[in-house]
Amino acid sequence: MSCMALPETLLGLLEPVPRHGYDLQREYDAQFGWNRPVKPPQVYATLARLSRNGEIEAVAVERVGGPDRTTYALTPDGVTHLERWLAEPEGISAYLQSVVYVKVMIALRSGRPARQVLDAQRAAHRQTMREVTARKRGGSTAVAVACDFTLFHLDADLRWIDHTAARLDHLAREVR
């Protein structure tokens, strides 16, 4: 997963219970960072931004034999940000599925309807496929080849979306 979704992922991890930055990093890495763990400075810089934006707040500060540990909790603005992010389909990119995967997992962990995340993404993909197919029809061979590249990737994403949707109940039991 790209760190572009780090703020939203941290909001999702904070929603069920307030946590320290260290705990958030550990959970992020365990859940989403197997390929690319997040660095502590990224976590703390992101927490600082979320706090400045009023999306999280410090609810406790303690010292446990080292530096201060601040416990953060989600605010109503943070919940609004998280819900808006979960509802918006992702733009088409090479690493789409990792962000969609995170959205599905955060939705499941929070008890939100992960099927809606998948349905919104499926609808966005189908709309993009219609637009690309229309462009392909009126274009040269080079345009057709470029469009095919996009269409094949979208088709693979749709297969993943359908495959994941079919396993949501089982996945939800594992996550909770």
Sequence-separated (6 or more) residues with CB below 8 Å from residue 15: 74, 78, 79, 82, 109, 110
Angle, in degrees to the nearest 10, between helices 168-175 and 141-166 = 60
Q: What is the pLDDT of residue 31?
A: 79
34 to 26, 31, 62, 84, 105: CA distances (angstroms):
11, 7, 29, 26, 15
Q: What is the pLDDT along the chain (176 residues), one digit of tens a residue?
A: 445 589 999 999 999 999 999 999 998 988 777 667 899 999 999 999 999 999 999 999 988 777 888 999 999 999 999 999 999 998 766 655 578 999 999 999 999 999 999 999 999 999 999 999 998 998 889 889 989 988 998 999 999 999 999 999 999 999 87
Q: What is the pLDDT of residue 34?
A: 64
Residues 40 and 96 in one domain: no
Answer for the pair 28, 125: CB distance below 8 angstroms, yes or no.
Answer: no
83 domain residue, yes or no: no
Cα of 125 vs its chain's centroid, Å: 17
What secondary structure letter does DSSP report for 68?
E
Residues 40 and 99 in one domain: no
Number of domains in the chain: 2
Last residue of a domain, one of 17, 47, 77: 77
Answer for the pair 88, 154: CB distance below 8 angstroms, yes or no.
Answer: no
Residues 72 and 98 in one domain: no
Residues 67 and 92 in one domain: no
Question: Got the DSSP string for 71-119?
Answer: EEEE-HHHHHHHHHHHHSPPPP-TTHHHHHHHHHHHHHHHT--HHHHHH
Q: What is the pLDDT of residue 37?
A: 86
What pTM did the predictor assign? 0.70
Q: What is the pLDDT of residue 172?
A: 92
Q: State whether residue 62 is helix, strand or coil.
A: strand
